[in-house]
Structure 1
C-alpha cells in the first residue's frame, strides 16, 4: 500500500469512528469510557511529574494526531502555557473542533511533522496513533520524525494498545519490541492500564472498586500502555 493510500485509509477509519450518528462505544458519558479516561489521567499525571517535571509552564509540547485537542487541554489545565503547545492532525474538521474548544495560542497544523524544526520540543506525544497505522514503513517514519523534533533530554510519550482485536482489522497492536526499536533509550518507563474493553464494558456498572482491583491484581487483563523514552542529552 502506498503512503498516500494508507493516509486516506486512516482518515476514513477515524471519520467512521467519530462521525457516526449511532451512539458509539467511545462516547464520553459511558461508564467504561469514564473509567478508562480516569486511569489514563492518573498514570499520565504520575509519569509527567516524574519526567518533564511538575511545573509545565515552560515545557514545549507537540501532540501528534491530536484529534479534538483533549490532551493539550489537559496540559493547559495542569499549568502548561498555550503558546508552547502544538498539535498535528490529518483531518481538518478535527483541528477546527480543537481550535474552537481550546485556549488561544496553541499552534494547530494539518499534516506531517516536517513543519517542525529539529530539537524543538521537550515532549512529543501520540495517543492511539500508531495502532491506527498498519503500514510498517509509515510507523517507522513517524517514530523517526517524533525523535527528530525532540530536544536532547526531552521525552517521547506513547499511549496505545497492547493487544490486537480480530474484530477490528483497522487496529494493530504496538509491541514492546517495536517501542524499543523506534525509541531506544536508557531512561524509559512502561506502564500498563485499563481493563480490556469487553471486560471493562461488562464491569463498568459494578461498584468501581471491583474493576479497579481486577486490573490491579491481573496485569495481563490491561489492554493499554503508556511508554515514555528520554532522548539522550
Structure 2
C-alpha cells in the first residue's frame, strides 16, 4: 500500500471514530472514558517530572497527531508556555477544533512533521498514532522523524495500545520490541495503564474502587502503555 493510500485509509477510519456512533462511544462523560483520562493524567504527572522536569514553562513540545489538542492543553494547565508548543494533524477538522479550544500561541500544522527542524524539541509525543499505522515502514519512518526532531537529551513519549482488537482490523498493537527498536535509549520508562475497553465498559457502572483495584492488581488487564525514551546526548544526526 502506498503512503498516500495508507493516509487516506487512516483519515477514513478517524472520521468514523470521531462522528456518529464513534463519537458516542468515546463521549467525555462516560465513566470508563473519565477513568481512562484520570489514569493517563496520573501516569503523566509521575513521569514528566522525572524526564522533562517539574517546570514545564521552558519545555518545547511537539504532539504528533494532536487530534483535538487535549494533551497540549494538559501541558498548558501544568505550566507549559503555549508559544513553545506545536501540534500536527492530518485531519483539518480536528486541527481546527484544537486551534479553537487551546490557548493562543500554539503552533498548528496540517500535515507531516518534516517541516520541523532537527533537534528543535525537548519532548515529542504521539497518542494512539502508531496503532493506527498498520504498515511497518510507515511506523519506522514516523519514529525516525520524531527522533530527528528531538534534541539530544530530549524525550519521546508514546501513549498507545498493548493489545490488538479482534473486532477492529484498523488497530494494530505496538510491541515492546518495536519501542526499543524505534527509540533506542539507555534511559527509558514504561508504564501500563487503563483497563481493556471491554472490561472497562462492563465495570463502568460499579463504584470506582472496583475497576481501580483490578487495574492495580491485575497488570495483564491493562490495555495501554506510556513509553518515554531519552535521546542520548551524544546522538548525531546522519
Scaled by the length of structure 1, what TM-score is found?
0.99
Alpha-carbon offset, residue 54 of structure 1 = 0.6
Q: Does the 8 Å contact 2:68/2:97 carry over to 1? A: yes
Question: Counterpart in 1 of 2:196?
Answer: 196
Alpha-carbon offset, residue 161 of structure 1 = 0.2
Alignment pair present for 1:67 and 2:67: yes
Q: Which moved more, 1:197-206 or 1:14-23?
A: 14-23
Cα shift readout 1:178-226 (whole Å, capped 9, x = no counterpart): 0000000000000000000000011111111111111111100000000
Question: Counterpart in 2 of 1:38?
Answer: 38
Question: Counterpart in 1 of 2:126?
Answer: 126
User: What are the equivalent positions in structure 2 for 1:1-16 lying under 5 Å apart?
Assistant: 1-16=1-16
Residues 70 and 187 of structure 1: CA distance in aligned 2, closer, same or farther (over 3 Å): same
- Stretches of structure 1 lacking an aligned partner (at least 5 in a row): none
Cα shift readout 1:29-81 (whole Å, capped 9, x = no counterpart): 10000001000010011100111001000000000000000000000000000
Alpha-carbon offset, residue 24 of structure 1 = 2.4
Once residues 192 and 144 of structure 2 are traced to their aligned partners in structure 1, the CA distance between those partners, rounded to angstroms, is 24
Question: Counterpart in 2 of 1:151?
Answer: 151
Once residues 143 and 213 of structure 1 are traced to their aligned partners in structure 2, the CA distance between those partners, rounded to angstroms, is 34
Q: Does the 8 Å contact 2:17/2:23 carry over to 1? A: no
Alpha-carbon offset, residue 22 of structure 1 = 6.5
Once residues 11 and 53 of structure 1 are traced to their aligned partners in structure 2, the CA distance between those partners, rounded to angstroms, is 35
Question: Counterpart in 2 of 1:87?
Answer: 87
Alignment pair present for 1:228 and 2:233: no
Once residues 94 and 217 of structure 1 are traced to their aligned partners in structure 2, the CA distance between those partners, rounded to angstroms, is 36
Once residues 200 and 44 of structure 2 are traced to their aligned partners in structure 1, the CA distance between those partners, rounded to angstroms, is 20
Question: Counterpart in 2 of 1:186?
Answer: 186
- Stretches of structure 2 lacking an aligned partner (at least 5 in a row): 234-238
Once residues 143 and 107 of structure 1 are traced to their aligned partners in structure 2, the CA distance between those partners, rounded to angstroms, is 21
Cα shift readout 1:90-131 (whole Å, capped 9, x = no counterpart): 011111111111100000000011100000000000000000
Residues 111 and 23 of structure 1: CA distance in aligned 2, closer, same or farther (over 3 Å): closer
Question: Counterpart in 1 of 2:140?
Answer: 140
SS in structure 2 of the partner of residue 108 of structure 1 = strand
Once residues 204 and 128 of structure 2 are traced to their aligned partners in structure 1, the CA distance between those partners, rounded to angstroms, is 22
SS in structure 2 of the partner of residue 200 of structure 1 = helix
Runs of 4+ in 1 over 3 A off after TM superposition: none
Residues 78 and 22 of structure 1: CA distance in aligned 2, closer, same or farther (over 3 Å): closer
